[in-house]
Structure 1
Amino acid sequence: MTSSRATVPTANASRYLQQLCKHWGHKFEVSFDPHEGRVALPFGPVDLKAHDSALEVTCTIDGEGDLSRMQQVVADHLNRFAHREGELAFDWQPLN
């Protein structure tokens, strides 16, 4: 298992968390509320936590997979939702 976490500064963390979960809910199993969410991607989960001034995003690869690609896909989707805010800053840090 390989994981990384980014703390993304934004005042819209809850909104982006919910948008991402609803968006991916059409293809993958998701669970979420305004404060926490999880998307069960085929190669591992994405966990999200909304704070007042940041969105915490954790990506985990359960077996074979490309963690950097997973990070990029998550960041690309969140940046599409944040287009009015501008490019979000992702500071990916390894957890293992």
Structure 2
Amino acid sequence: MTLTAHVPTPNASRYLQQLCKHWSHKFETECDPQSGVIAFPMGPIRMAAQEEALVVTIDPTPEADVAVFKKVVAEHLDRFAFREAPLAFDWK
């Protein structure tokens, strides 16, 4: 099951780079200003910066608690986006 959220923000590139840097101390990450991938234990997190949105995609492992996975991602991004928080996640 793959879930994707389009998160409205004009700071998508900044937030994806901050999240990648934050988790790079614990997990394997790949990141540039337009995209990022984090090898998270519950499954990979992929992000893409658009002009007015951050597109976040998670691929939970079969044993992952999907609700917790979504919450962890949202809470961490909200920390970096404290001026805009809470960000709107429309998981589909």
Task: Report TM bin, short chain.
Answer: over 0.9
> Where does structure 1 lack aligned partners over 5 or more consecutive residues?
none
Q: What TM-score results when the alignment is normalised by the length of structure 2?
A: 0.96
Residue 40 of structure 1 aligns with an amino acid whose one-letter code is A
Deviations 1:42-62 (A, max 9, x none): 221000000000000001113
Q: Which residue of 2 aligns with 1:39?
A: 38
Q: What TM-score results when the alignment is normalised by the length of structure 1?
A: 0.92
Query: How far does residue 85 in structure 1 lie from its aligned partner after superposition?
Result: 1.9
CA distance in 2 between partners of 1:65 and 1:18 (Å): 24
Indicate conservation of the 8 Å contact 1:38/1:48, yes or no. yes
Q: Which residue of 1 aligns with 2:88?
A: 89
CA distance in 2 between partners of 1:85 and 1:3 (Å): 26
Paired residue secondary structure (1:61): coil
Of all paired residues, the percent bearing the same amino acid is 54
Q: How much is the aligned-residue C-alpha RMSD, in angstroms?
A: 0.8
Q: Which residue of 1 aligns with 2:71?
A: 72
Q: Which residue of 1 aligns with 2:62?
A: 63
Q: Which residue of 2 aligns with 1:53?
A: 52
Aligned length: 92
Q: Which has the higher strand share?
A: 1
CA distance in 1 between partners of 2:28 and 2:39 (Å): 5
Displaced runs of 4+ in structure 1, greater than 2 A? Answer: none
